[in-house]
Structure 1
């Protein structure tokens, strides 16, 4: 990419839905033609677009793509899909202009791996950092590419990412294009570089998969009307959300459970959070170990970290869903900061490589009970001084896998003021509440969004019949509230009212 005349790297992103497995470039009317793959014959066919022939008349077709077994709707970045990689220099200004052309669906964009220091409202988490971009609306992201390396951007609302909204985001150091090698830590300058994004597209849209998971219809995921198959070939979700032991070194641990997004942006509701969210301490399920899978217990779980404090967090994946074959390893992603991996507590494995026993550092009784709210078995660890932490050369990252039956301990300095988010990066898990928000700094230490920032999402309530002010040059004129009109009055009004142009004053 090249910068504009102001040195800004601008990118226009138009997002729309498109039917995969279709082709429309070989007939004058541009009718979309379904493309099929036949398992037994192992060939591709394209249905005849001529509307006067049989619906399933087809002929062999040779596409230059991999076989997909069914037609599926997917969100795409128009003209690309996935989106073309965005390549910008380190510390350059980036301007992404997003147009949502998806019919009836909202969306946001998150550039994954860029901390956006101070610009928390440009990070793309719906209802935590911005209002969703409504259908036919536009939203512009502007930030500094503050982290070198290979990253990516993706949709960050509900099933956006799984339905195809994703692309590469590469930040290069123009003064150092070398890359590491396996040869004794030597670095070389490659003659050419490639970016590859691998993504699996399901035969159903993400919303359908989510509803099947939410309504517990997994046995019939092939559809109620298909009597030839039962159960998916691989499970889409099992286990419980991970748990959190969090705090500064002098705090007792506390616990997070399945969360829920607020209904508005918390920054604008510091004094009335109850109007946009459900506080966890107000639920009957708070700290109740039996509430792990109770969806009625969902609440807006959020932490507060003092600016410039060192934060150490331990997350564990134990109890129900924490044994071999009963749960998932969770890819945990932290927005707004990169963290150091201080320790990974693994389970024990048998000679075949399967889990034999969950890690014993945390007081969890086994995979058949809930382990919500557990603590360290060793009391001397409660202040954060764990044995076995890597304090010499820990790796630095923004995402790490939380193993089944184990835990991770991470540490970072909270230097980036704002409202941020942390979550499991498995899409359906995030939608199910495996995540939380965190605020760095007091409200008066957080940078304000622009004055014209769209912030009025959430819940609209009106306590009385609205007054009807009419704007004039001098001051608003308040009209009396209307009485309930009769049907005849409504008809007469709709037929007789017409717009009369206002008189314009002539000037010399």
Structure 2
């Protein structure tokens, strides 16, 4: 194993640390490699430990600061000098950006150079039509990649826009395993920059965050950390953000407001030019507000889809979301702060530098943020609440108030049969993240390619109103169904926001219903009353929520935008709210729907959407298989194959299609039930026995007929011999 990892490390050097990949726009196939490994922050590969001073790095023993260490050769994060173990692609934090063009075939070879961990890579924002096995969700669309193994993701680049990739195994995304994935049009000539933002914890890794959330208490040393809260009073727990990073760099601010002088990311621009910035929140929990001193932002896209432009002072981006904005570099030549801060009370923050060509590269900006006033108010796009406190003179635009830039109305059902509506409540119930009170239990096989081995499924006798259960939660849709999901965050749950991400689809945001807020303080007062939680009244978990007005069916919900709604794949849901989203189920596969707060997803706030089960594409040849050992299903399958008259090679090639033909005939609510398998298996065995008895009976009758016929004259026998018939 050691020699393998050594070879992979050498390959990583050859591939290139910290450099992105951009495919030639004329190419048909784009091919690159990501090598996933553990690295350390604040450690130079040859000079060893480093420390920051005034935006520069020096070797640990260079007390007189005589020799500057190249910043690009060190993963600095927030400059905290105690090394942080990170999981990264190609020794880069964030991972190298991958830039391709619409319609190109993309092949990404992912090599797991980790010593102890598995990995997968999810292509966030890509529907992957016809290639659901490339989605990169462990134990849903594939088996995880083991240490030393390689897995090649092979798919078509579509649609255009700002997307990203990240590990979906365990909590590796929070440890640095993420990067930008940009799909451009071949005719694109825009000047642009990629900007990732993330909340960062330099005290420990995300696996520790999960353990601390289970205990609901967070200590640093002997000091119990307070629960953090949002502007509207919503809670953030238990992830502790020590800082914010922009493109993997930031500065740690201590309690007195003094920063540690760590290097910052710089964006170079020419004066008199329009630039597009592609912003991706790759972080863990906290929504982040982004602004640029002395420059107005024109927000033009979200999650890859163009919106009608909105000019704003700033915008807020939640974990998993992306926003594109444009700026016109029409200010005096100089350097300007780009600011990113969490929306906590007593927020964490960092900066990057917007540096005009000709500005002094040795000086930090001295600019200040816009001062909002009654006569010069600030506008913020994508607030996850209705308003800011009145004394901040700040106005909000919520996401559902944005409009699509193109004529793309949402799908309309042609009949009640092809319209499916589900109310899904995302909340932390009795300390457990769940959806409708169901804590998601990850399958132990690849659900998409091994559907008969999935379990345990949800037992409706155990899961219901005001209960909490653990199982493999899934809902099913038929091909071309119009699916309307009412995403909720309400009931007797922890008042925390949840950015909800759907794999395999982008959805239209038709409406958002917020709770009631104090218009002066902006603090949350009560949940939206459009939802009837049923159950135990105000104490209900809202596991079986529905519309309070029973006539609100389909398009009858008031204030739906059915003309030009915005489209996206990740939507932040504050406590007390709901959102109506819609999509057309035209992408067969098994797709995860989950909260993109890392610890919430890890502990069970997920479910699967089984889309068009009978039309799932067959797995690629040689696709990996994984399962428990011993496995009763595998034992029976092998017994069946050994009894088959075909050759081993034929059995291997035909076993999966034969099973799939049978599994298409199942109840919608029990697609993944192992009980369905044995029921169908029993039916199949009974049919085989009946056919066998029938064949034996026919053979006996034919034998008697043939014997009688042989008693006739020899000449007549020779004249009428039918070899095919006699062989039966």
Q: TM-score if structure 2 supplies the norm length?
A: 0.52
Task: Confirm or deny: 8 A CA contact 1:46 1:59 kept in the other structure.
Answer: no
Q: Superposition pairs for residues 184-203 of structure 1, below 5 Å? A: 190=190, 192-203=191-202
Equivalent in the alignment of 2:139: 127
What is the total number of aligned residue pairs between the two structures?
A: 414
User: How far apart are residue 22 of structure 1 and its match?
Assistant: 1.9
Matches of 2:582 and 2:512, distance apart in 1: 12
Is 2:429 aligned against 1:261? no
Which residue matches 1:236? Answer: 237
CA positional deviation for 1:113: 1.1
Residue in 1 that maps onto 2:456 = 278
Given that residues 465 and 541 in structure 2 are in contact (C-alpha distance below 8 angstroms), is that contact kept between their aligned partners in structure 1? no
Counterpart residue number, 1:452: 622
Q: Does 1:301 align with 2:295?
A: no
* Residues 43-79 of structure 1, C-alpha deviations (whole Å, 9 max, x = no match): 9775349xxxxxxxx6658664543364211101124
Given the superposition, is the C-alpha separation of residues 59 and 453 from structure 1 closer, same or farther in structure 2, using an over 3 Å criterion?
A: farther
Residue 264 of structure 1 deviates from its aligned partner by: 0.7
Choose which of 512, 529, 533 in structure 2 pairs with 1:344. Answer: 512
**Cα distance change on mapping 1:455 and 1:350 into 2, 3 Å:** same
Give the C-alpha shift of residue 454 in structure 1: 0.5
Alignment partner of 1:423 is 2:444: no
Indicate if the aligned counterparts of 2:421 and 2:485 stay in contact, CA closer than 8 A. no
1:404 and 2:575 equivalent? yes
Q: Residue 152 and residue 435 in structure 1: after superposition, are their counterparts in 2 closer, same or farther (change >3 A)?
A: same
Q: Is the 8 Å Cα contact of residues 249 and 384 (structure 1) preserved in structure 2? A: no
Q: Relative to structure 2, which stretch is displaced further, 451-460 or 70-79?
A: 451-460
Distance in 2, matches of 1:347 and 1:442, equals 37
SS in 2 for 1:199: strand
Partner of residue 313, structure 1: 485
Q: For residues 475-501 of structure 1, what are the alpha-carbon distances to aligned partners after superposition, in whole Å with 9 as ceiling and x for unaligned?
A: 9xxxxxxxxxxxxxxxxxxxxxxxxxx
1:329 equivalent in structure 2: 497
2:210 is the alignment partner of 1:210:
yes
Match of 2:532 among 355, 363, 386: 363
Q: Which residue of structure 2 aligns with residue 47 of structure 1?
A: 60
Maintained 8 Å contact 2:500/2:596: yes
Deviations 1:171-211 (A, max 9, x none): 11113x2xxxxxxxxxxx63x21101122332211111112
Deviations 1:69-119 (A, max 9, x none): 642111011242211111111111101000011111011001111111010
- Tell me by how many angstroms 1:129 deviates: 0.1
Q: Does the C-alpha gap of structure 1 residues 383 and 195 become closer, same or farther in structure 2, counting only changes over 3 Å? A: closer
> Would you tell me which structure has more helix in proportion to its own residues?
2
Q: Which aligned segments of 4 or more residues in structure 1 are displaced greater than 3 angstroms?
A: 2-6, 35-38, 41-49, 58-66, 232-235, 247-256, 267-270, 364-369, 457-460
Structure 2: how far apart are the matches of 1:281 and 1:37? 56
Per-residue deviation, 1:20: 1.1
Q: Using the alignment, how far apart are the partners of 1:442 and 1:69 within structure 2?
A: 51
CA change 1:5–1:44 in 2 (3 A) is closer
Equivalent-residue separation in structure 2 for 1:423 and 1:251 (angstroms): 17
User: What secondary structure sits across from 1:171 in the alignment?
Assistant: strand
Instruction: Check conservation: 2:88, 2:177, Cα contact below 8 A.
Output: yes
Separation in 1, partners of 2:216, 2:586: 44
- The separation in 1 between residues aligned to 2:553 and 2:26, in whole angstroms, is 55
Residues 367-406 of structure 1 mapped to structure 2, 5 A cutoff: 369-382=540-553, 385-406=556-577
CA distance in 1, matches of 2:182, 2:123: 10
Q: TM-score, normalised by structure 1?
A: 0.74
* Residues in 1 aligned to 2:52 and 2:462: alpha-carbon distance in whole angstroms: 49
Match of 1:160 in 2: 172
* Aligned CA distance change for structure 1 residues 111 and 409 (closer, same or farther; 3 Å): same
Change in 2 beyond 3 A, CA 1:335/1:43: closer
Unpaired segments ≥5 residues, structure 1? 27-31, 50-57, 178-188, 240-246, 292-296, 476-508
Report which structure shows greater RCO (CA 8 Å, sep ≥6).
1
1:433-481, Cα deviation, whole Å (9 max, x unpaired): 11111111132x11111120112344533679x99x9xxxx99xxxxxx
Distance 1:252 1:89 in 2: 36
CA distance in 2, matches of 1:460, 1:97: 31
Counterpart for residue 497 of structure 1: none
Q: CA deviation at 1:285?
A: 3.5
Deviation at 1:165, TM superposition (A): 0.7
Q: 1:382 to 1:263 in 2, by over 3 A?
A: same
- Structure 2 gaps of 5+ residues are 1-21, 229-235, 240-284, 286-416, 426-435, 649-728
Q: 1:112 and 1:367, CA in 2 relative to 1: closer, same or farther beyond 3 A?
A: farther
Corresponding residue SS for 2:439: coil
How many Å separate the matches in 2 of 1:88 and 1:122? 17
Confirm or deny: 8 A CA contact 1:338 1:397 kept in the other structure: yes
Q: Provide the residue aligned with 1:502 in structure 2.
A: none
